[in-house]
Structure 1
Amino acid sequence: MNLRRRLLIEWALIALFGTLAVILATHWRGTSAFDNLVYDQLSSISRPKPDNKILLINIDEASLARVGKWPWNRNIHAQLIDKLASAGPRTILLDVLMSEASSAADDRALVEAMQKSGAVYLPLNFHSPGSDGKAYDTEYPLSVLDAAAKGVGHVNITFDNDGIVRRINLCFDSGERSWPHLAELIYRNGAAPSPAFAGLARCSQHLLLPYAPRDSYSEISFVDAHEGRIPDQLVKGRDIIIGATAAGMGDNYPAPFSDGGVVSGSEIMANVVAALRRDDFIASAPVWQISLFSLLPMWLLMLGFLRWQPRTALIVSLCLIATVLVAGMVALSASIWFPPGAALIGIILVYPLWGWRRLQAMSAFMQSELGELEREGEIVPLALNPDRGSDLVGRQSAALGSAIDHLRDLRRFVSDSLEHLPDPMFVTDMVGTVTMANHRIEDYLGPKLKGTALKSLLDRIVAPMHRRSVDEYLRAIEREPTGDHQPFVRFVSPDGSHFVMRSAPVVNDLDVHVGQIHYLADISALAQAESDREEALQLLSHDMRSPQSAIIALLPTVPDKDVSRRIEGHARRTIALAQDFVDVARMGESPFEGTDVLLTNLAHDVTDNFWPLAQERSVRIEVIDDSDSGFVLAEPDSLGRAIANILDNAIKFSPVGGSIQVRTRRIRDVEARMLELTICDEGPGIDPDLLPRLFTRFAARSVPDARIKSSGLGLTYVRAVAERHGGKVWVENGKKGACFHLRLPEAADPIPDPAA
């Protein structure tokens, strides 16, 4: 497995592990202690101002010392309520449980004071677990007091796992009915519910309570208020909360303040009332939003791991931690709480895991690659660092450094080899930019070709008339680097030089096409030789034939007809010799342009042309078709002329009254379907010494008294035609004479036209 694939797999596994860890931490509140600590610190940055319409009257140590041991006579509470009522408070909350009866006179006095005030609220209490399998038992105020109170509500305290009071329930479901919080009743005071209460999704929903600074509410001692040492303007229009603050009365609770300590139940009640008025309770975000908020930074970091360098990943990780905390603070200022613990766990988990797995993968990859280099044997074995005291990665890094040194040497060797090539060479990448060039082409086009666009380079080296063919060749190489296309392209440069370009794909170790290497061969000398050769061929085909034609034209003036006939034969033989030579020389230069030809018909046509000559020598020619009308892909003119050369020889050397058999048949070859044309005569046959080299040039002239007294170019032409058509020709002596065999590939069946 290559390094990239392994890293991607391990990246996916780490991402999956981190996602599961974050989701579990979110749903199971595994980071609640940390989240609470962060909440306490963030909430202490900006606390709301205390509500100056709330007055706390505390049953403190001084009051207990002056009035006496708790519980007090209810008449004392009645006297305080009377004094407060005379000053016109908005509400009076007597935050003291009064569920048991006292003396009738004292109870009656308190009832009368409450009725006279008309603004007194009393708490009720819940005991858990309840009796008879109930979740709660409700402890109501004394019935007469309950009837006299303006409202009764719950004052239950909700503790977090660490025992600190951060949350409040504005509604409590006892199983029998739902009770609003006593602070909610004070807020209403007979009017509409608070927005916070109306927005509750369910009665058990907790709201985070924003605490004002500790001891910031106006407060006086119970004994001072009872003895009249309180001005009426301090009471008028305010909500009065009477509660216990003395240490021994058990109504003090730990609150989320950085300095520690406890706050009284009455101060908690004051904060609840103030929050209801400000409507700034802090709601915890839904679980799905917390999950999304927690997963987002982790996934951002995981995606960054695929592209960032390690240093960038570390910096981004630290920035994400800070961003999570800042985002939590911003959300808290908007009265929404996103616990950051799960998000921080995701970041803190995936960063070291990814670093560890990446280091492990790199170590394994280096070990594998170094071993592979040694096994390939292209460089000398790589020695590990002899210092065994260093760690594995250190030793592998040393070995990798050694391998890099060897590869540098190898690269230098390759560079020097390319530099000293006798022909111009350059390399381009997949976008057509020159990445390497040797000095041969730089001598021709100028230095510093690296970085040059291929199009610009070709503009300078290829003449406009050949530019299209070069571009088509390069496009074919690019489309199919290893496909079946022309092996080279030939062109002329603007200065008249002739070049051949060969291009080959450059592939990496994974067989991925990454560029092309281009070789240029200067064939100007060869082009000049070809030009000279063409002039020689022109001399043979025109300048040598023209005098012979003139001789034939003058023959009618020769009085001796026998001499005239002999001169004409030699002249025409010279013309045929020149034509054979030119045709053989040019046959390899022109492209093959074949068409489907019925071989038997072509044999008939050639035979018909030789009918007068055969009649003159009383030779009978028989054409037999055993090929089932087989077709060959052929050039009719050249193939017909080749058959004519064989048939001409057969007629010349057949005895008077002899016969020639021309037969076509289908041959089932191992590799392909073939058609064979056989021409057999009844002549003396061919000398055995001449048979192996009969189709070479001038073979007949090298053998004295040979059957064929000619230049030897006719049969050379036959062999060239056979090879041009993908076939072969040979000769053998039969019982009566010679048999020439011309075997050609059968034409492929035509593809049917779908529209037909």
Structure 2
Amino acid sequence: MSLPAGLRWLGRRRRDGWLTVLACLLGATALEGGGLVARLDHIAYDALLGHRPPPPTDRILIVAIDARSLTAIGAWPWPRQVQAELVRRLSAARPQAIGIDVLLTEPRDPAGDAALAEALAEAGNVYLPLAFELPGRNGRAVDVLRPLPAFVRASAGLGHVNLSPDSDGVMRTGWRTYQADGTGWPALPAAMLGQPADRAPPASGLTRAAPLMIDYPGSAGTLASVPAAAVLRGEVPAALIAGKLVLVGMTASGLGDMHATPLSADAQLMPGVEIQGSLLATLLAPRQLIPASPALQWAFALAPVLALFAGLAWLPSRRGLAWTALLAIGVVAISAGGLILGNLWLRPAVPLVALAVSYAVWSWRRLAVASGMVSAELERASREAGLPAPPPAAGMLDRQIDLLTEMTARERALRHEHESVVRLLSHDMRAPQSAILALLDQGGGCPPDLATRIGAHARRTLELADGFVHLARAQAVAPGTELIDLRDLAIEAADALWPQAQSRGIALRTPDDAAEVLVRGDRSLLARVLVNLLDNAIKYGAAGTPVTIGIATLGDQAEVTVRNHGPDIPADQLDRIFESFAQAPGRGRRADGVGLGLAFVHTVVTRHGGTVTCRSAGGETGFSLALPAAQP
């Protein structure tokens, strides 16, 4: 059994092959560890996130300090009394929690600050924001921007509102915990849900822990929202606020922070308060979207490369690109399925890039090895043909072209010599032999025994010349495409050899079925194939026995069988009877041919895309031809 091409290549160039595999694996490792294709991962993530089922948002309400509210109430900042009134009206509707996404770090008029502190205390479920300033003042690494102490004492808790975009400026990940100088604070949405800060190792400066992939319900404006002015005027029904998680923040253009998100359409930015709302929806979801663990991500990066080389080792070379594409589709499908259905993000960029690069490297190495082998074979063939060495070339390709040029010229010269030999056999050798036979037929005083021997030798020489010419033509002429009925050829061959069969008392049995058995090819060549087989069957069959010609269609093959009864061909001769000048005498068989008839049969059938086999046992010998069947 022959090994696949890839395994043969690894076997011949074991060191180069395994070094190629190792280099590609190391390249994938470098891509994964170095984050060199993070931008491609971001693009894939952004494209796929919108196809996830959105998290539930029915418990979230945004109270927006929008352009309409600024027009109605006045420019920002509003007096603290107005802010206190907004808190009182929201609290009266009994929401589950209120989160203020507006920094309250600067004191205003004492009466207003006192009113807001009193409103916060009366509500009892208002959570205030804090932020961080990097670097801090007076040489400090970080400053924590807390609300005024009175507000802190009156609030239900504090939560950070820091947002950290990715390197491309898109907000994809929030952090549940920020820690400054050993003190940690949960994100504002987590504080509203009563979730404490995650524990983080003690560290100086600002650190963060517990990343959370934000499962955006949609683009900007997706979350339910009411204008702050409408709440202050009492226009919002209490039922719309009751039991909700309310976030108060800026949405007016030019106020507050704005960020791009994976679902930003037409470069539309999302206000920070809506990002906090999306983070809140993520925390409320039954199952949160998580990134793959490092071990799983490494496996996802390297497994396709290993599968690629395993497939390239076993599959034919022409299917290598299809196998690579199939693996790439599998990587995309697994990544998309994990994100959309499995709440797991497997980054696809590294395995996709590694597949493309690995296939390119593998193909380049195979071409380099194949080119080297071609050069070696051309050099060997050139030496064996005795060709003069071409002048030194600049590179391997130039050297191959020079050698091919020399070999092509040599091949044309050999073909010309071959045609001259065929002409010699077909005319110059036939003419003297025909003249000898003509002289013998006229008498001329030659003793009968000597005339018989000379005639036999002349006829054998003619037969040899005819056989060689026919074989040469079969080898050189491309098969035609004429539509041929094999039944007609069989009947014509039987008619042509009927006298020989009659002389030995052999009955020729041709097919009686009227159905056509069609093939495409060269009519004269295929006709001679049947004549050769039928002539051998008559010549070597026992006198008085039948010779049978069978023709049938088996699937997509047209089959011809020629059977006779007589001495068997020895089993050890069956494998070589189709070679030129091979003869297979057995007990009672006369080896009086020239050994080119079956070589001609094999050549013609093979060039027509078929096969020829022989079976000889039990006093019966049969030759079977299988040719591609044709449709009328």
Bucket of the pairwise TM-score, normalised by the shorter protein: 0.5 to 0.7
> For 2:326 and 2:263, how far apart are their aligned partners in 1?
28
User: Of the candidates 231, 235, 245, which is equivalent to residue 241 of structure 2?
Assistant: 235
Question: 1:404 & 1:436 partners in 2: Cα distance?
Answer: 29
1:298, CA displacement in angstroms?
Answer: 1.3
What residue is the counterpart of 1:316 in the other structure? 323
Return the letter of the residue paired with 2:119.
A
* Aligned pairs (5 A) from 1:514-593: none
Partners of 1:198 and 1:58 in 2: how far apart?
33
Quick one: distance in 2 between partners of 1:11 and 1:396? 28
2:314 to 307, 313, 319: 307
Identity %: 26
Inter-CA distance 242–8: structure 2 relative to 1 (3 Å threshold) = same
Q: Which residue matches 2:368?
A: 360
Counterpart for residue 334 of structure 2 = 327
Q: Which of these residues, 181, 184, 197, is aligned with residue 190 of structure 2?
A: 184
Larger radius of gyration: 1
Q: Secondary structure at the match of 1:169?
A: strand
Within a 5 Å distance, the mapping from 1:595-634 to structure 2 comes to none
Correspondences of 1:111-510 after superposition (within 5 Å): 111-131=117-137, 135-188=141-194, 204-214=209-219, 215-257=221-263, 259=265, 260-333=267-340, 334-375=342-383, 377=384, 379=385, 381=387, 434=575, 439-441=582-584, 443=586
Give 1:282 deviation, angstroms: 2.0
Asked if the contact 1:22–1:294 (Cα under 8 Å) also holds between the matched residues in 2, the reply is: yes
State the shift of 1:271 in Å.
1.0
Map of 1:101 onto structure 2: 107
* Deviations, residues 340-367 of structure 1 (Å, cap 9, x unaligned): 1111111111112222221122112111
| CA deviation vs aligned residue, 1:627-666 (integer Å, no higher than 9, x gap) | xxxxxxxxxxxxxxxxxxxxxxxxxxxxxxxxxxxxxxxx
Change (3 A) 1:178 1:436: farther
Equivalent positions of 1:733-748 (< 5 A) are: none
Alignment correspondent of 1:613: none
Name the counterpart of 2:75: 69
Q: Which residue of 2 aligns with 1:607?
A: none
Query: Contact 2:56 / 2:284 at 8 angstroms: preserved in 1?
Result: no
Change in CA separation of 1:175 and 1:193 when aligned onto 2, cut-off 3 Å: closer
CA distance change for structure 1 residues 316 and 76 in 2, over 3 Å: closer, same or farther?
same
CA-based RMSD: 3.9
In structure 2, give the amino acid aligned to 1:293: F
| Counterpart Cα distance in 2 of 1:23 and 1:205 | 25
AA in 2 matched with 1:130: G
Q: Structure 1: which 4+ aligned runs deviate by more than 6 Å?
A: 197-200, 393-407, 424-428, 435-438, 445-453
Q: Distance in 2 between matches of 1:308 and 1:245?
A: 59
Query: What's the CA shift for 1:399?
Result: 7.4
Work out the CA distance in 1 between the residues paired with 2:90 and 2:311: 66
Secondary structure, aligned partner of 1:83:
helix
SS in structure 1 of the partner of residue 158 of structure 2: strand
Q: 1:113 to 1:208 in 2, by over 3 A?
A: same
Match of 1:27 among 1, 22, 33: 33
Q: 1:204 and 1:442, CA in 2 relative to 1: closer, same or farther beyond 3 A?
A: farther
Residues 9/425 of structure 1: CA separation in 2 closer, same or farther (3 Å cut): farther
Amino acid at match of 2:302: L
* Matched letter for residue 306 of structure 1: A
User: Structure 1 counterpart of 2:129, which letter?
Assistant: P
Report how far residue 403 of structure 1 moved. 9.4
Letter in 2 for 1:328: S
Question: Which region of structure 1 is more displaced relative to structure 2, 5-14 or 277-286?
Answer: 5-14
Q: Is the 1:426–1:437 Cα contact (8 Å) retained in structure 2?
A: no
Name the SS of the counterpart of 2:98 in structure 1: strand
* Amino acid in structure 1 at the alignment position of 2:181: G
Q: Is the 8 A contact 2:378 2:404 kept in 1?
A: no
Q: Is the 8 A contact 1:47 1:213 kept in 2?
A: no
Q: Secondary structure at the match of 1:249?
A: coil
- Contact 1:51 1:217 (8 Å CA) reproduced: yes
Alpha-carbon spacing, 1:443–1:140, altered in 2? closer, same or farther (3 Å): same
Give the AA of the match of 1:263. M
Highest relative contact order (Cα 8 Å, sep 6+), 1 or 2?
2
Return the offset for 1:134: 5.1
2 CA distance for matches of 1:205 and 1:30? 24
1:244 partner letter: M
Change (3 A) 1:49 1:285: closer
User: Residues of 1 paired with 2:127 and 2:279: CA distance?
Assistant: 15
CA contact (8 A) 2:101 2:273 kept: yes
Residues 387, 406 of structure 2: 8 Å contact kept = no
Whether contact under 8 Å (2:178, 2:186) holds in the other structure is yes
Alignment: residue pair count: 429
1:311, CA displacement in angstroms? 2.4
Decide which of 7, 18, 25 is 1:12's aligned counterpart. Answer: 18
Quick one: structure 1 residues 258 and 300, their matched pair in 2 at CA, closer, same or farther if it must change by over 3 Å? Answer: farther
Contact 1:41/1:258 (<8 A) preserved = no
What does the per-residue CA deviation read over 1:442-462, in whole Å, with 9 as the maximum and x for residues that have no partner?
Answer: 655999999999xx99x999x
Instruction: Show CA shifts across 1:677-730 (max 9, x none).
Output: xxxxxxxxxxxxxxxxxxxxxxxxxxxxxxxxxxxxxxxxxxxxxxxxxxxxxx
Residues 483-534 of structure 1, C-alpha deviations (whole Å, 9 max, x = no match): xxxxxxxxxxxxxxxxxxxxxxxxxxxxxxxxxxxxxxxxxxxxxxxxxxxx
Cα contact 2:93–2:242 (8 A) shared by 1: yes
**TM-aligned CA deviation for residue 300 of structure 1:** 1.3
Amino acid in the other structure paired with 1:321: A
SS at match of 2:91: helix
- Describe the shift of the 1:403–1:237 C-alpha distance in structure 2 as closer, same or farther (beyond 3 A): farther
Matches of 2:350 and 2:233 in 1, distance apart?
Answer: 55
Q: Distance in 1 between matches of 2:570 and 2:389?
A: 36
CA distance in 2, matches of 1:83, 1:142: 22
Q: Are the aligned partners of 2:177 and 2:209 in contact in 1 as well (CA < 8 Å)?
A: yes
Counterpart Cα distance in 1 of 2:34 and 2:323:
28
TM-score (norm 2): 0.61
TM-score (norm 1): 0.51
What is the rounded CA distance, in whole Å, between the counterparts of 2:181 and 2:36 in structure 1? 30
1:147: Cα distance to partner? 0.5
